[in-house]
Structure 1
Amino acid sequence: MKRLPFLLPSDPEAPFPPGERALNEPDGLLAVGGDLSPARLLNAYRSGVFPWPSEGYPLLWWCPDPRTVFHTDAVRLSSKFRRGLRRSAWTVRADTAFEAVIAACAAAPRPGQDGTWIVPAMIEAYTRMHRLGHAHSIEVFDGEALVGGIYGIAIGRMFYGESMFSAVSGGSKVALAALARRLHGWGWPLLDAQVENPHLLSLGARSLPRARFLAQAAELAAAPGFAPGAWTGRFGELAVAELADPLPPGLELPAP
């Protein structure tokens, strides 16, 4: 078996090995060790790498092939679901309930999965990243009740999605569609979804060969984006009914 690089906790700025060196089995396992410091996490995402802890092992870092992504103008909602949105009073905001979103994602049941990778150390690390303005949550509200959400990391003009949840049916779909709508309007074309599952594919996710993903993500992460900070004002409050109509092909929305 190929020997995996071991990352030292004392050197969070050390470069990750190239993603192409990741194992084929298990798919994408690239390195072990290190820590979840902000410097390490930013370094990882810029390299197309993400942490995915597994109980009983040192911290594991992944770069799978292929990579699952959403093009931000191509999230797919069914016609029936869109009709329901026209009657919905739900609203979507950003960065007003990050800790509630990540806690709900950690507690969400996953078919075929025992436990969660969003362990307390991950919650602490990404909450720290949120306070530093690098991690963001998109929150769906029914009145003041949180009914769905998604969170991830923004670097340059690239958004790396981490997890989403629904407390009420459709909550995660709305969060994803609202995030994609805003990202598209800001000129951010790609949303990383890491690894495929049937739910993501049903919403329009696509697979990119790892080499193509790494090249595109590196270019977008290096592009001028927003300064670190909360997205609450920038995102605004989006009425879910606005998501009932798909974007016309080629439409570029103005930034709010």
Structure 2
Amino acid sequence: MSAFDGLDVQLAPADGPVAFGGRLDAGELLAAYRRGLFPLPAADVYASAYNEARYGGADGVALLPGGDDPYALAWWSPDPRPVLRPDGVRLPGRLARRLRNRAQRWMTTADRAFGEVLAACAEGRQPVWLTAELASALVELNALGAAHSVEVWEGEELVGGVFGVVVGPVLSLDSMFHRRSDAARVAVADLGARFGAAGGRLLDAQWDGPHVRSLGAAPMARSRYLAELAAAARTGPLPGDRLPVARLV
């Protein structure tokens, strides 16, 4: 049994949280993603108090059992949802030229440094959402093959990356980072290429905005997105080989 059983995401607000509370272990986290939800833990008690003041008792927002402070954990499912096809990540011409010049310097891998990618995505981010509890659940999902990372390397230095959770033919883009210009964009393009090779059909960018639109994301109605999640299609293992970035351009 999951706290999300019986929750009708279709009836939830389009631009606000769907629910608060519940547990943040690996099983419940995967159950949430299967229903088109993703978590947003509160950074501190003040953020939790704001959630309660702003959304407590709001129409369509569920309060899930579990946890000492339900408003410390929000679950979202924006409508519409920004999505990309695996082969649709946009690499501008200027970047393509740079990648060709760096063909012997930048390489990519998948799932070789999942924990390092998580730590880099959390580093210096305010407000803090990638909490230790969430990171622990994601590491467990990675061990189970349900969460993946792509790493961008310059020699032996990790210069960019992205991670996300897989549900059938859909892979989320939960967070990304860069230590070199455009390395995060390269990580997303590489993840798309690998996921497409594994049979994936859709990358979910979660939050709409200029950055994800620049990657090539387009809005998809939540009803259609949920139908994509429910599709019977399954994906194979994500190829993890060390590969040159030049193949992406």
Rounded to whole Å, the distance in 1 between the matches of 2:137 and 2:210 is 28
- Match 1:86 to one of 91, 100, 119: 100
Q: Do the aligned partners of 2:110 and 2:240 also contact (CA within 8 Å) in 1?
A: yes
Counterpart of 2:8?
A: 18
Q: Distance in 1 between matches of 2:38 and 2:101?
A: 38
Q: Secondary structure at the match of 1:223?
A: coil
Aligned length: 221
Residue 106 of structure 1 corresponds to which residue in structure 2? 122
Q: TM-score, normalised by structure 1?
A: 0.81
Q: Is the 8 A contact 1:69 1:192 kept in 2?
A: yes
Residue pairs, 1:118-137, within 5 angstroms = 118-137=130-149
Query: The residue matched to 2:78 in structure 1 has which SS?
Result: coil
The Cα offsets for residues 50-92 of structure 1, whole Å up to 9 and x where unpaired, read as: 1111232331111111101111121111101001100112000
Q: Could you tell me how far apart the structure 2 residues matched to 1:73 and 1:108 are?
A: 31
% same residue = 41
- Equivalent in the alignment of 1:60: 74
Distance 1:184 1:108 in 2: 31
* Residues 1:223 and 2:233 are matched in the alignment: yes
Q: How far apart in 1 are the matches of 2:234 and 2:127? A: 38
Q: Does 1:185 align with 2:197?
A: yes
Paired residues of 2:152 and 2:159 also in contact (CA < 8 A) = yes
The structural deviation recorded for 1:226 is 2.9
Give the CA deviation at 1:33.
0.9
The 5 Å alignment of 1:198-213 reads 198-213=210-225
Provide the rounded CA distance (Å) in 1 between the counterparts of 2:137 and 2:16. Answer: 22
Compute the TM-score of the two structures, normalised by the length of structure 2: 0.83
The one-letter amino acid of 1:208's match is M
Gaps of 5+ in 1: 1-10, 245-256
Superposed counterparts of 1:42-61, under 5 Å: 42-55=30-43, 56=48, 57-61=71-75
CA distance in 2, matches of 1:175, 1:182: 10
Paired with 2:6 and 2:175, the residues of 1 have a C-alpha distance of: 23
More divergent stretch after superposition (54-63 vs 136-145): 54-63
Structure 2: stretches of 5+ with no match in the other structure: 49-70
Greater Cα offset, 168-177 or 32-41: 32-41
Query: Which residue does 1:240 correspond to in 2?
Result: 245
Distance 1:16 1:95 in 2: 34
Q: Which residue of 2 aligns with 1:194?
A: 206
Give the residue type in structure 1 aligned to 2:111.
Answer: D
Q: Structure 1 stretch 143-152 or stretch 158-167: which is displaced more? A: 158-167
What SS does the aligned partner of 1:235 have?
coil
The answer to whether the 8 A contact 1:12-1:40 is kept is yes
Give 1:51's aligned amino acid. Answer: P
| Aligned position for 1:76 | 90
Matched residue SS, 1:141: strand
Partner residue, 2:111: 95
Distance 1:197 1:108 in 2: 21
